[in-house]
Structure formats: structure tokens, C-alpha cells
Amino acid sequence: MADFFGSLKLALVLLLALAAASIIGTVLPQGESLAFYEAHYTPNSYKLIHFFRLYDAYHSFWFLWLLLLLTVNLVVCSLRRLPAVWKVAKAAPRTVTERLFDTLPFHRILTFSSPIPEGRVRLTQLLGRRFGRPRPLPVPDGEAFYLERWRFSRFGVYLVHFSVLILLAGGITSSLYGFKGFLELAEGEKADRIYAQDGKSFQKLGFQVELKKFTMALYPDGTPKEYRSDLLFTDGDGKSLEAAVKVNHPFTHNGFTFYQSSWSRVPQSLRLRLENEQQRLEVALGMEERVPLPGTPYSLKVVRYIEDMARFGPALGLVLFDNQGHMDMGLILINHPEFHGNRIKDYRLRVLDLKTRYVSGLQVNRDPGIGFIWVGASLMLLGFLSTFYLSHRQIWVWFRERKDPADRLLTEVYIGATAHKHREAFFRILERSLQGIEGGRS
């Protein structure tokens, strides 16, 4: 079992299967109603789409199963390899022998005719300080040292695997415990709850948020440059805080993050003139406010404001009620008083004055998974850097004194080194630092 779940073959198959499965959601429109797929695809394709939930491929049971399998594969595979790597990495060198130097992939013997000063000083002269801090090793004969660097890089690949688990945990946390809501606030309006994006549930904020002001800046050519909402947050204990939210500059308050998402404009107050053969009236009214027309059986209500009606500029949707319960509706172009359609019943309507205010559309999220994502991504990068570009570099050095045939005292220096990766580059550097040693001869 563990052989199967921990196998590399399974890992390769899963990576490629996930890649192939991910294509589906980029080709087939996602998140449409079932009726949409029934209308646009053949009955058989529709059956497939319905059964395999291809309309929400990335949350379908089989996609989650693939992810789960990959997780199991990753864990089993890492756990099976880790003890051996751990043992190698933890193994501290006890002593040095001639045999050790023979087995190391890099070995040199330098001979110095002069007797040596203290070994540690000589070592620094030989290698400098860039190969790590020398640690003395017990030897019966002479002096020996061990130097190492970047031992942790042996674990880099497990760090990467671990980071994938953290990322998956973050994704799961986001989708289970995260809340994505939407809030539309007109200037001067307050809210203490947000509605979920599907509109079915709401979430209490635990504080009050008010839109003080919405501003929009344009480039000279008229394209938008900046949208900005100035918000006022008031907590239950009356403490308040002002903050601006712009696109790319969200603001977080008590765990809820506010993002600038959209905007619109609604009338704040209007003055209208109604005219027919008999009379001429002027009324002042606000949005959604039913106002009786004096001297008539009618009342009037503004139900809609359209920012740009078929490129003719802003328009108002109005309803005229009579006292019998009948309604008449009309759309009025605000900037085109001459337009013949600006009438309801036999009244000609004209907007005399219109004050608008902005409505800011804010996305409001609470996402407890986000911390996992940033930690996971950072660990993954650290893991990549250490596993791609670093290797565990180990050096052993042994100083021994010996007499030459003429009975002069010589010093032999055994140098051996290895690295678990990128050996050639390491040995090149080592070679370079050993070159030009005075009196050195290998």
C-alpha cells in the first residue's frame, strides 16, 4: 500500500492528471446555471457535465479526490525518505582516518616543509572563512577539523512538499471559513452587516461602517485613474477610525477587509416640471419617494436612475399612480428635454434640477486562510532556493607531522570534501582557494 501511495510514478501521474483536469475549467464556462449547459451542449455532453460537475470543475468531487491523492502521495513519499536523510544529516563525524580521505570525492594531500604553527591558524590560512566554522575532531595523531555549510539544504525538498500542504490547508480554510460579501453604500449611508455574494446570507460586522465620500479621478483622455472611498468605522464602544479604500489599496478592520470594487451614482434630490394642456406643476422629490401632485388625483415616484441610457446620458425611471391603483411608467432623458418620449400620460416632464450622490460598491471579505497562503508561498520559495542552489558542503582537514628521508620535519595536510549536490562547482571553488598556498605541494 505504502509502496503504491508513496511511489514516484503516482506522483508523476497525479501532477499530469491535475494539469489535464485543470484544462476543463478553462474551456468550459464555469458557474453557469444548469439550464445554460442544457441549452448549449448536446444531451450526452450535458449528462457528462451534470454528472462530473464540470460546471464547477475545481470544486468537484473528483478534482478534490485528485488533490487528496496528491497530498497522501506527498506525505507518504516524504515520510519514507525523511528518516534516511535525517540520519545522514545528523551523523556527526567522530574522527578521521586515511580511509575516509580515500573515499571522499575530493581529496588532496599538501606537504609543507616547514613545521606548522597551530593547526587552526594554518587552517584559516588555507581555506579562509567561507567554508564554515572549524570544529576540532579528536585524533590520536596531529590535529583534525571538520567544517560544514548549508546542512539544512538537504531538507529543502521536504520544505517544498510541506509548503504545498500548507497552501492546500490555506485553500481549504479559505473556502470553509472565509466569507465574501458585498456592500453598496451611498455617500452618507451606514451599514453594520454585509450580504454574501450569493445574496442568501448575511454576516454581522460587529461595527458600523459609513461612506463619508466617494471620489473619482480621470486622466486627461477620460479614462479612469482612481476610485476612492473615504470610510468611517465606528466600533460598539463608540471609538471611530477613518480610512480610505482605493483599488489595490484595501483596508482591514477587525478582520474584515474592504476592497474598492465598483461605483454608481443615484439622485439625491430632484426638481421636476410636469406640463399638460391645462396645468404646469413643479415638484421636488428624492429617490423612491412617492409625492402627491397638488391639484391632481396623481402621485409620482422615481424608481430608477440610469447613468447612461443608450448613450443619451442619464435617465430617470418614473411611475405615476392615480387614486384608482393604476400605474403609468416612463423613462425620461435628463439631458435631452426636447426628446418626445419624455412624457407620462399626457404630461410632458422636464428635469429642472438634479443633485446626485455616489454609491460605492465595496467587496468585504474575511479570509482566515490568507496567512497560510503567504507562509506557504514563502516556505516554498525558501525550499526552492535551498534545494536548487545550495548543497550540504562538508570538509575534513587533518594535519600530521612526518619526517622526510633526510630526517627533516614535514607537515602533511589531508583535505577531503564532499557535497550532496553541485559538487563540481564546490570543488572548483575549493581548488581555487588551495591554489597559491606557499610551500604547498600535492
Query: Residues interacting with another protein, by CB under 8 A?
Result: 8, 11-12, 15-16, 18-19, 22-23, 25-27, 30, 58, 171, 180, 219-221, 223-227, 246-250, 257, 259-261, 363, 365, 367, 370, 373-374, 377, 380-381, 384-385, 388
Q: Which is nearer to another protein, 27 or 91 (CB)?
A: 27
Cα dihedral sign, 25-26-31-33: negative
| Interaxial angle between packed helices 8-27 and 61-90, expressed in degrees from 0 to 180 and rounded to the nearest 10 | 140
> In angstroms, what is the minimal distance from the CB of 227 to another protein?
6
Q: How far is the CB of 17 from another protein (least distance, A)?
A: 9
Indicate the SS3 state at residue 333: strand
User: Cβ closer to another protein: 126 or 169?
Assistant: 169
Q: Which is nearer to another protein, 250 or 317 (CB)?
A: 250
Q: Rounded to the nearest whole angstrom, what is the least distance from the CB of residue 72 to another protein in the complex? A: 16
Largest Cα separation within the chain, whole Å, is 137
**CB of residue 230 to another protein, shortest distance in Å:** 16
- Which one, 1 or 27, has the nearer CB to another protein? 27
Q: What is the SS3 assignment for 125?
A: helix
Q: Minimum Å distance from CB 59 to another protein?
A: 9
Separation CA 379–CA 374 (nearest Å) = 9
**Shorter beta-carbon distance to another protein: residue 261 or 360:** 261
Q: Check: CB of residue 57 under 8 Å from CB of residue 28.
A: yes
Give whichever of 154 and 400 is closer to another protein, judged by the CB atom: 154
Report, in Å, the least distance between residue 157 CB and another protein.
Answer: 9
**Nearest C-alpha neighbor of 400 from the set 128, 122, 125:** 122
- What's the angle, vertex CA 341, arms to CA 340 and CA 346, rounded to 5? 90
Q: Cβ(257)–Cβ(250) under 8 Å? A: yes
Nearer to another protein, 261 or 356 (CB): 261
Kindly state the smallest distance separating residue 368's Cβ from another protein, in Å.
13
Q: Which long-range contacts (CB under 8 A, 24 or more apart) does 229-238 make?
A: 229/185, 229/258, 229/260, 229/360, 229/362, 231/258, 233/207, 233/208, 233/209, 234/207, 234/208, 234/209, 234/210, 235/206, 235/207, 235/208, 236/206, 236/207
